[in-house]
Structure 1
Amino acid sequence: MALSFFRSSVISRHVKRQLYQKRNSGYVVLIPEIGEDADKNTLLSDNGLPEFDDISIEKCIATISRQSLEYENGVRQIEQSSQNCKNAFNEIFQPLEKLDNQLELTWGMAKTLYLGNSSLMPTKSYIQIHERAHKARSAKFNSYPIYQAAVDEKNRLKKLTDEEQRLLDKYILEGKLNGLDVKGIKRDRLNNVLAALQKERQQFRDKVNIANKIFTSNITDPEVMREFPPSLVKSMAVGNDPERGPWKITLQPHIYEPFMEYCSDRELRWNAWQAHVQRCSNYVNKEIETGNNLDSIRRLRGEQAQILGYETFADMSMETKMAGSVENVYTIFDKLLESARSMQDVEIELLQRFAQERGFDFKLQWWDIPYWQRKQKWTLYGFDEEKIRKYFPLPRVITSLFNLCSTLFKIQIVERSDVHTWHKDVRFYDVYDGTSNNPIAGFYLDPYARQDQKIRVYDDAGWHIAIRNKCGSTNTLPLSALIFNFQAPSEGKPSLLSFNEVGVLFQRFGHSLRHMLTKANYSEVAGLSNVEWDAAEVCGQVMTHWLYDPHTIRAISGHYSTDEPLPDDILKNLQNIRGHMAGYNLCKELYLSRLDLEMHSKKTFWRDIVREMWPKYHALPFDKYDSHPLSFTKIISEEWGAAYYCRIWSRMIAADIYSTFEEARAGDQDILAVGKRYRDTFLAVGGSCHPSEVFRRFRGRDPSPHALLKNLGLPKNVTEIEE
C-alpha cells in the first residue's frame, strides 16, 4: 500500500488554477433573454406534465429566461397597481401566485434533470437556470410596495384565516430580512455586507472542494479491502478491475465515511482522518486555508444582523425557526445532553473492551470508532447492512410503503404509463384521495444509481424535489420527483436495499406527502413552502419510525427469491440497533449544533469555542490539530448557519408525534383516527400555520424530548444503564 498526504509544492499550481480560473470555466455565462424555443408550452406535454424526454438545455435556458423577464415585468405592474390597493389578496397576492406558477415549474424541472440525469442538465447549465430563476423570484420579496401592502393589509381591522395571516407574515418577514425598512447609509452598508458575504462564502466553498479533491491515498493490498462491501470496492477502484485494484481513498463523503467503517488498517484510517479534520487549516496548505474566510463570514453575518435590528446572527436566524429562540434550543438540548453524555462514557468503555478482546492493543481514538462501532454492531445484533439486503427487495418495499400510506391516510397511489420521463427506469404515479376519482397530486420515482449521471452524497442518498406547488388561483396540483441512488437490478436479482436505504426511501416519501397532501390554496404557504426550517423534515422523520414497528417490517421484508421472512433475531434487534452507541452519536450532533449557534452568537475565536465546549460533549480528548470548523461547509458556506440544530429538533418533534401512534396501539385505541388527525394537521396544513400551533392541534400540548430519548434507549441518568 502507498500512503500520501498533502504536498504543498506539488499542488500549488493546481490550487491556483482552481481558485482563480474557476469562474472563467463556466460560472459566469451570458444567458439569452429570449430564444427560439421559448413558446409557452415548449416544456409541457398535452397532459400538462413536463415533456422530460424532449427537454434540451437550450429549451430550459430559453424558457427560464423568458419566464424570468415576464415575472419581473409582472412584479413591476403589480407594484404600480398596489398604490390604490383595496384588497391585497385579490389585487396583489393572487396575481403573484399566477406569476409564480410557470417559473416554479420550469425551475423544478431543471432541478429534477440536474439530480436525475446530469448528462442532460450539467452543473454549469443548472447554475445558470437556478441563478436566473432565483433572481427573478426574489423580486417580489425585494419590493417595498408589496412589502408595504402586506403591512397595511395586516393592520386593517378584518378577520384573517390562518393561511392569510401566514401569507402576510411571510411577505413582511422576507421584506424585513431583505432590509426593505433600512434606509440611507445603513442600506448602502447592508448591500456591501451582503456582497462581501457572498464572495467569502464562495471562496470558502471552493477551498473545501479543492481540499476534498487533492488528498488521495492508494491501497494496493487486496487484503485491506477484504471487509469492504462490493459497491464501495467498485467506487474506489482506480482501473477497470475492482477485484485487483489499486483502490483510491478520497475525502469525498460517499468514499470517506464508509471507508472509515470498513478499513481494518489503522494507519490508513489515521491518515485519512487527519487529512479530513485538518482540511483547509494552516497545518496543511496555506493557499486553501479558510480561517480568514471563516472569521470574515462570522463578522459580516453579525453586522448584517445588527443592521436589521437583531443582537446576533443566531437571533436573526430564529425568526424562521419553530424553536423561536436560542435559549429554547439550549434548554431542550441540555436535557438531551444530560442523558446522552453519561451514556457515551459507558459506550466508549464497552467498545474499548470489545476491541481489546479482538486483539486491539491501543486506546481507542477518533479514527478507530467507526470501524469498531460497525464490528460491535454486527457481533451484538448480527446486523450488517450489506448482508440483510436480500430481505429488502425494492419492489416489495415500495408496495408495502404505498399500502401503509393508503391505510393511514386514506389515499391511493396508482402508476400511470403514458408519461414522458428522463430515463426508462423512471416511473410516474398519481395520488388519489379516498373519495375522489381525480388525482390530487403526482410524483416521479427514479430509484437507481447511474454512474456519471447522478450526483452522489453518502449522507444524503436521495432527494425530494417539489416540481410544482398546489395553487388555488391557477387550479394546479402538486407535482414531485423522488430521486435515489439505490443499486440497480442485476443478474436476475431485483434492486436490494440496505436497511439504511429503506430508511432513506421512507424519509423522502414521508417528506413528499406534506407537499402532495396539502389543503392550502396559496402556493406560497402550501405544503413544504413557508414551513419553519426546524420543522421542515418532521414528516419525513415520522415516516421512518414505522420501520421499527414489527408489523410494518414484516410487510416490507422478505427474501427476494424465497420470500423467507426477515430472521426473528434481526427483527427483534432493530430497536437495539437504533440505540447502538446512541449517546455517542447524539452527543456529536448536539456538539455541532451548539458549535454553530455559539459561533453565530459570540465573537470568540473559533478554536477557543471548540476547546471550551469539547469535554462537555465528548469522551475522547480533543486533538490539537483538529480544525473541523474550517471545513464545516453546511454552516459556513451553505444555508445552515445558526440552523444546524434543525436536524435534531426535527427528530425530536417527529419522535413525539409518532409516540401518539404508539400510545394508541398500546391503549387499544383507533390508530386510524390518529392517522386522520396527522393528515388533517401536519400533512394538510403545511406552511399555512405555525408548526408550534400545528403540533398543539395534533398532540394537545407542547413538544417534549422524552420520546426521542426513549426511542434511542437513552436513560435519564447513568444508574439506569445495565451492562
Structure 2
Amino acid sequence: MSTSLKGTTRKRVAVAYGRRCGDTNLLILENLVQLRHKLARLLGYSNYADYVIEPRMAKTSAKVFEFLEDISAGLTDLANKELAALKDLKKEEEGDSPFGIEDLLYYVKRADEEKFDLDFGTVKQYFPVNLVLSGIFKIFQDLFGLRFEEIADAEIWHCDVRLFSVWDFSSSELLGYFYLDVYFREGKYGHTCVLSLQNGSLSSNGERQIPVTLLLCQFRKEADGNPALLRFSEVVTLFHELGHVRTKLRIKPFIISPDGHSIESKEQSPGWNGMCETHSLHRSALVHHICNRASFARFSGLRVDSDFVEIPSQVLESWCYESMALKLISGFHQDITEPIKDEMCLALKKRRDSFSALKLKQEILLCLFDQIMHSSENVDSMELIKHLHPKVMLGLPMLEGTNPASSFPRFAIGYEAACYSRIWSEVFAADIFASKFQDGILNNYVGMLFRKKVLAPGGAREPFEILSDFLGREPSIQAYIERKTRNSLEWLEKTRIS
C-alpha cells in the first residue's frame, strides 16, 4: 500500500488485508474480553480496565480516557492540515478521486521522499557498531557520571559476548555489570531485549547486591569484507536498549568477581523466595536498572509501573535526533574521524515528526477501542469501531467490511486495556527532555538529578511523585503537542504541497 501507484489497487489490497480472519478474530477477542471482565469482578473490580490500570501510573481508566482525548484534541488542527496536504498531493497525481484511509501510507511516503533528500543506505555508513557503542558510553559518562570498563577474559557463552562493569565516575563505586550479545546468530533468542539477571538490593547483612543484566540485539556482524554497520533505526534501538527492553528471569542469585567469573552468592536478597516465577516482557532502560538504588529486590531494577517503565528509555531516544549527540556516536566507516553530516542530522530530526498527528490519530483510535472494550461489557466491537473511526480519523470512513481491531494483536496478548502505554511514555518523556535537557543535552548537573530522582527510586516511589519532583511541577502533555506541531508545520510550510 505504500508503493502502489494506483488508488484502486491500494484499496483492493487494503480491503483484503483488513478482512483477513476478521469474523474469527473478532469472536475470539469478544470472548476474551468477557472472560477478562469476569476475572476482574471475581477480584472485586467493576471491569477489566480498572483491574489492569489501578497498579499503573495512570491509576484509573477515566484518567486514560482523559489523556487520550486531550492528546487527540491537541493534535486535531495539525492533523487536518496534514490531511489537506496529502489530499492536494493525491489530486495532483490522481485527479479528483476521493482520498481514503488506504491512501495514507502511500502519500505520506511520497511526501517524505519529496521533502527529505535522505538516503538511509548512506546514513548507515556513518554508524559502525563499535563506534556507536563507545559514543553512547561517552554520552552516559558525561551525562550520568557512569564509567564503563570491559572485562577481558570473562566467562561467556559465545565469542561475540562482551562483559562490562559500570562504576560511578566520581566515587569509583561499582554499580553493576552487563553482558552485551549484540550480533545475530542461528539458534539465538530472536528478540532485542535486556534480560535482568539479578536486581540490585540490600542483602541481610547490609551489603548491596550488584545488579547484573544482559543486552541482546540482532545486528549483522562484519562478514566478507562488509563492516558491521547499523541502520539509523537500530541506532535508536540501541540507545533505547542501553536505555531499553527487559525480560525478568528468575535465577539463583550470583555475584561476578572483578575478573569476570561468576560466583554463587551465599546471601539471598530480600524478596527472594527461591522459587520459579514468571515475569512479563517489558521495555526499559539498562541504565535505569544499573542506577536503581532501591533497598528491596521487589522494587529494584525495572520493577516499576508498566506505563512508567518506558519513560526513561523514551527520554534517551531524544539524543538520537540531536546533532551534537549524533556526531559523538558516528563516523564514516572508512574514516571514522568524519562524523555524520549536518544536513543528515537535520533531516533525521525533521523526519521524526513528519505527519505525526495523522499517524498518532490512528494509534489513538485503537487505544480508545481497547479502553472502551475493557471498560464496558457486551460491546459490539464492529459498531464501536464504526463509530470511533470517522470521529477520530477526521471523517475518513473505514473501509467496508474491515475492522482494524481484528488484526491488532495487542488487544489479545500483553497490552489488553493498556495499549495507551506507549503514547503515555512518549508524551511524558517529551516533557522531561524539553523541560530539562533541550538546552543542554550533556548537562551533567541535570543528568545526575535525573539519575538520582528518576532512575534511583525504582518502584519505591509513585511515578507521578518521581516526575513531579524532577520537573518541579506535574508532568504535562504540552511539550509533546508543541514539538509535533512545530516540526510538522515547519515541514508543511516549506513544501510545495502546503
Fold similarity call, TM over 0.5: yes
Looking at structure 1, the residues matched to 373 and 148 of structure 2 have their Cα atoms a distance apart, in angstroms, of: 46
Kept in 2, the 8 Å contact 1:579–1:714? The answer is: no
Distance 1:472 1:269, change over 3 A: farther
Distance change >3 Å, CA 594–CA 567, structure 1 → 2? same
Match status 1:690 vs 2:462: yes
1:329 corresponds in structure 2 to 64
Deviation string, structure 1 residues 266-285 (Cα, Å, up to 9, x no partner):
77765654443223223xxx
Q: Over residues 112-161 of structure 1, what are the superposed CA-to-partner deviations in whole Å (9 max), with x where a residue is unaligned? A: xxxxxxxxxxxxxxxxxxxxxxxxxxxxxxxxxxxxxxxxxxxxxxxxxx
The letter of the residue matching 2:444 is L
Distance in 1 between residues matched to 2:72 and 2:468, nearest whole Å: 25
Q: Confirm or deny that 1:303 pairs with 2:38.
A: yes
Task: Give the AA of the match of 2:234.
Answer: E
The structure with the larger Rg is: 1
Query: For residue 276 of structure 1, what is the aligned residue in structure 2?
Result: 17
Partner of 2:401: 625
Aligned residue in 2 for 1:701: 473
Aligned equivalents of 1:587, 1:351: Cα separation in 2: 15
Q: CA deviation at 1:262?
A: 5.3
Change over 3 Å in CA distance of 1:715–1:431 after alignment to 2: closer
Residues of 2 paired with 1:715 and 1:545: CA distance?
14
Q: Which deviates the most, 600-609 or 402-411?
A: 600-609
User: Which residue is 2:168 aligned to?
Assistant: 433
Cα deviation, residue 300, structure 1? 1.6
Q: Is the 8 A contact 2:350 2:487 kept in 1?
A: no
Q: CA separation of 1:721/1:376 partners in 2, compared to 1, >3 Å: closer, same or farther?
A: closer
Higher RCO (CA 8 Å, separation ≥ 6 residues): 2
Partner Cα distance (1:408, 1:326) in 2: 36
Which position in structure 2 is the counterpart of 1:680?
452
Residues of 2 paired with 1:509 and 1:646: CA distance? 20
Deviations 1:383-413 (A, max 9, x none): 2433311122222211111100001111101
- Post-superposition shift, 1:543? 0.4
Indicate the SS of the match to 2:121.
Answer: coil
Distance 2:181 2:102 in 1: 35
- Percentage identity across paired residues of the two chains: 27
TM-aligned CA distance change 1:663 to 1:507, over 3 Å:
closer
Counterpart of 1:713 in 2: which secondary structure? helix
Distance (whole Å) between structure 2 residues aligned to residue 627 and residue 543 of structure 1 = 35
| Contact 1:378/1:384 (<8 A) preserved | no
Matches within 5 A, 1:333-348: 333-348=68-83
CA–CA separation in structure 1 for the residues paired with 2:197 and 2:476:
34
- 1:685, CA displacement in angstroms? 0.8
Counterpart code for 2:430: A
Q: Secondary structure at the match of 1:609?
A: helix
CA–CA separation in structure 1 for the residues paired with 2:402 and 2:225:
47
Residue in 2 that maps onto 1:188: none
Kindly tell me: are residues 424 and 582 of structure 1, through their superposed partners in 2, closer, same or farther at Cα, counting changes over 3 Å? Answer: same
The code of the aligned residue for 2:331 comes to: G
Instruction: Say which SS state the counterpart of residue 496 (structure 1) adopts.
Output: coil
Tell me by how many angstroms 1:650 deviates. Answer: 0.6
SS in 1 for 2:178: strand
Contact 2:198 2:212 in 1 (8 A): yes
- Which residue does the alignment assign to 2:286? 512
Conserved in 2, the CA contact under 8 Å of 1:471 and 1:521? yes
- Give the AA of the match of 1:278: R
Q: 1:373-388 to 2 correspondence within 5 Å?
A: 373-388=108-123
Residue 442 of structure 1 aligns to a residue whose secondary structure is strand
1:549 equivalenced with 2:322 (yes/no): yes
**Aligned position for 2:135:** 400
Give 1:632 deviation, angstroms: 2.6
- The residue identity in structure 1 corresponding to 2:317 is T
Distance 2:322 2:125 in 1: 20
Aligned residue in 2 for 1:465: 195
Q: 2:335 corresponds to which residue?
A: 562
Name the residue aligned to 1:540: 313
Q: Partner residue of 1:482?
A: 215
The DSSP-based 3-state class of the residue aligned with 1:679 is: helix
Q: One-letter code of the match for 1:467?
A: L
Aligned to 1:583: 357
Distance 1:397 1:576, change over 3 A: same
Of the three residues 592, 603, 608, the one matched with 2:383 is 608
1:557 corresponds to which letter in structure 2? S
> Does 1:526 pair with 2:256?
no
Report the more deviating stretch, 361-370 or 509-518. Answer: 361-370
Q: Which consecutive residues of structure 1, in runs of 5 or more, have no partner in the other structure? A: 1-259, 283-288, 457-461
From 392, 407, 416, give the equivalent of 2:151.
416
Please, what is the CA RMSD of the aligned residues?
Answer: 2.8
- How far apart, in 2, do the equivalents of 1:653 and 1:613 lie? 25
Structure-2 change in CA distance of 1:574 and 1:715 (3 Å): closer
Q: Does 1:445 align with 2:220?
A: no
CA displacement 1:357-384 (0-9 Å, x = unmatched): 4568854444443343233223212124
**What SS is found at the alignment partner of 1:600?**
helix
Go from structure 1 to structure 2 and tell me whether the alpha carbon gap of 1:358 and 1:429 turns closer, same or farther (over 3 Å shift).
Answer: farther
**Helix, strand or coil for the counterpart of 2:176?**
strand
Corresponding residue SS for 1:544: helix
1:301–1:488 CA distance, 2 compared to 1 (3 A): same
- Structure 1 Cα separation of the partners of residues 120 and 97 of structure 2: 27
* Residue identity in the other structure for 2:202: G
SS in 2 for 1:320: coil
Q: 1:561 to 1:266 in 2, by over 3 A?
A: farther
CA contact (8 A) 1:351 1:372 kept: yes
Task: Check whether the contact 1:493–1:560 (CA below 8 A) recurs between aligned residues.
Answer: no
Structure 2: gaps of 5 or more residues: 244-284
Partner of 1:647: 422
Q: Which has the higher helix share?
A: 1
CA apart distance, 1:714 = 5.4
Output the amino acid matched with 1:308: L
In structure 1, the partner of 2:281 is none
**Kept after mapping to 2: 8 A contact 1:413/1:432:** yes
CA spacing shift, 1:343–1:641, aligned 2, 3 Å: same
Matched residue type, 2:477: P
Change in 2 beyond 3 A, CA 1:497/1:442: same
Q: Which SS does the other structure have where 1:464 is aligned?
A: strand
Between Structure 1 and Structure 2, the one with more strand by share is 2
Q: Cα gap change, 1:714/1:568 in structure 2, threshold over 3 Å: closer, same or farther?
A: closer
C-alpha contact 1:351 1:373 (8 A) present in aligned 2 = yes
* Aligned residue type for 1:647: R
Contact 2:327–2:339 (Cα < 8 Å) also in 1: yes
Q: 1:671 & 1:312 partners in 2: Cα distance?
A: 45
Q: What CA deviation, in whole Å up to 9, does each residue of 1:82-113 have, x standing for no partner?
A: xxxxxxxxxxxxxxxxxxxxxxxxxxxxxxxx
Structure 1 residues 372-381 or 552-561, which shifts more? 372-381
TM-score normalised according to structure 1 size: 0.58
Structure 1 residues 372 and 454 mapped into 2: Cα distance closer, same or farther (>3 Å)?
A: farther
Q: TM-score, normalised by structure 2?
A: 0.82
In 2 relative to 1, CA 584–303 (structure 1 residues): closer, same or farther, beyond 3 Å? same
CA contact (8 A) 1:587 1:617 kept: yes
Distance 2:94 2:152 in 1: 57
Q: Tell whether the 8 Å contact from 2:385 to 2:403 is kept in structure 1 after alignment.
A: no
- After superposition, the Cα gap between the structure-2 partners of 1:690 and 1:715, relative to the gap in structure 1 and judged at 3 Å, is same
Partner secondary structure for residue 67 of structure 2: helix
Contact residue 340 and residue 582 of structure 1 kept, 8 A = no
2: distance between equivalents of 1:533 and 1:317? Answer: 10
- Corresponding pairs, count: 447
In structure 1, C-alpha distance between the alignment counterparts of 2:6 and 2:217, rounded to whole Å = 31
Q: C-alpha deviations, 1:197-252, integer Å up to 9, x for none?
A: xxxxxxxxxxxxxxxxxxxxxxxxxxxxxxxxxxxxxxxxxxxxxxxxxxxxxxxx
CA drift of 1:316 comes to 1.5
